[in-house]
């Protein structure tokens, strides 16, 4: 049985559909409400629980389970903190996995995870990795760069901005490098892990086949949308001050103030990371956009 925590999110929803098509036995963790209803509509077996409330996890796992832990947040809001979700939530799920004696534990981290990072997001992802590694359970950790595909929040917000704004604002120079990975390629990597968990008991940095500047990513997306609106460089300090101003005019920036800072640092790994470890070459960004934006 495959047990998924975080099945209602962007990556989790795609994974659920992917595994359902293959007829795999699935069980998903969900709180009451929209997430639970969404999973039930997809035909998933759903158990009530919340990784931030360890008492709700007792008995949700069995010894033959493979756990896929995708639950995470990209910004803190509504009482959900990086510490509570990434660190304490992972600690609680690992504790239940230890009690049940599960077969394998998968954790979705992030490229750039570092316990010394200024970023609360990246710091707590690294702390969660340590909890997984020290749990005494065979594990796989993915550290992906930006994952893009249908419904991904980053692309959706960029699309809104490109369509609504007369020009396309680029924070700073937009020269930081990223390595977008198409969700379909992430799924194929995960499929290989599930086929042979013992062969992938390690930590893997994942990225697409290109190192692209942020401004290049935005330009490719604008091209896929069929617009030639100009890219306008805006000083980073002004962009941070403008986050609130843009929201007043219903122009949603693709990032929060903290995430703007992340746009100033490279987020890349080896260009052949996927082909070397998983045996195939992921698609280029423009080809991915052609498939899920232009079509």
- Note down pLDDT in tens along the chain; length 295 residues: 899 999 989 999 999 999 999 999 899 999 877 788 888 888 888 999 999 999 999 999 999 999 999 999 998 887 899 999 999 999 999 999 999 999 999 999 999 999 999 999 999 999 999 999 999 999 999 999 999 999 898 999 899 989 988 999 898 889 999 999 999 999 999 999 999 999 999 999 999 999 999 999 999 999 999 999 999 998 877 766 665 555 544 444 545 667 777 888 899 999 999 999 999 999 999 999 999 996 6
Domains of the chain: 2-144 (3.40.50.720), 153-177+210-266+283-294 (3.90.25)
What pLDDT is recorded for position 251?
A: 47
Nearest residue to 142 via CA among 72, 54, 88? 72
Rounded Cα distance between 227 and 21, Å, is: 36
Strands 168-171 and 231-234, sheet pairing: parallel
Contacts of 209 (CB under 8 A, 6+ apart): 271, 274, 275, 281, 282, 283, 284
What pLDDT is recorded for position 168?
A: 92
């Amino acid at each position: 049985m495959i047990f998924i925590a975080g099945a209602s999110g962007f990556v989790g929803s795609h994974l659920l559909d992917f595994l359902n098509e293959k007829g795999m036995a699935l069980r998903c963790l969900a709180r009451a409400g929209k997430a639970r209803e969404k999973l039930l509509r997809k035909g998933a077996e759903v158990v009530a629980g919340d990784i931030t409330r360890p008492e709700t996890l007792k008995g949700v796992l069995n010894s033959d389970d493979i756990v896929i832990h995708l639950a995470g947040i990209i910004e803190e809001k509504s009482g959900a903190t990086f510490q509570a979700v990434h660190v304490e939530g992972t600690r609680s799920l690992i504790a239940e996995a230890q009690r049940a004696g599960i077969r394998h534990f998968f954790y979705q981290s992030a490229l750039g995870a570092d316990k010394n990072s200024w970023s609360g997001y990246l710091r707590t992802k690294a702390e969660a990795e340590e909890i997984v590694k020290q749990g005494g359970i065979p594990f796989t950790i993915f550290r992906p760069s930006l994952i893009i595909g249908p419904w991904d929040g980053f692309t959706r917000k960029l699309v809104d901005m490109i369509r609504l704004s007369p020009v396309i604002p680029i924070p700073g120079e937009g020269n930081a490098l990223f390595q977008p990975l198409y969700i379909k390629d992430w799924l194929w990597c995960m499929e290989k892990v599930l086929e042979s968990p013992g062969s992938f008991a390690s930590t893997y940095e994942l990225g697409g086949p290109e190192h692209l500047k942020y401004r290049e990513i935005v330009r490719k997306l604008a091209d896929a949308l069929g617009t030639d609106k100009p890219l306008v460089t805006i000083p980073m300090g002004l962009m941070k001050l403008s986050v609130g101003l843009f929201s007043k005019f219903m122009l949603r920036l693709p990032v929060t103030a903290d995430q703007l800072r992340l746009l100033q640092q490279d987020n890349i790994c080896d260009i052949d990371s996927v082909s070397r470890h998983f045996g195939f070459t992921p698609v280029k960004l423009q080809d991915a956009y052609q498939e899920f934006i232009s079509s």
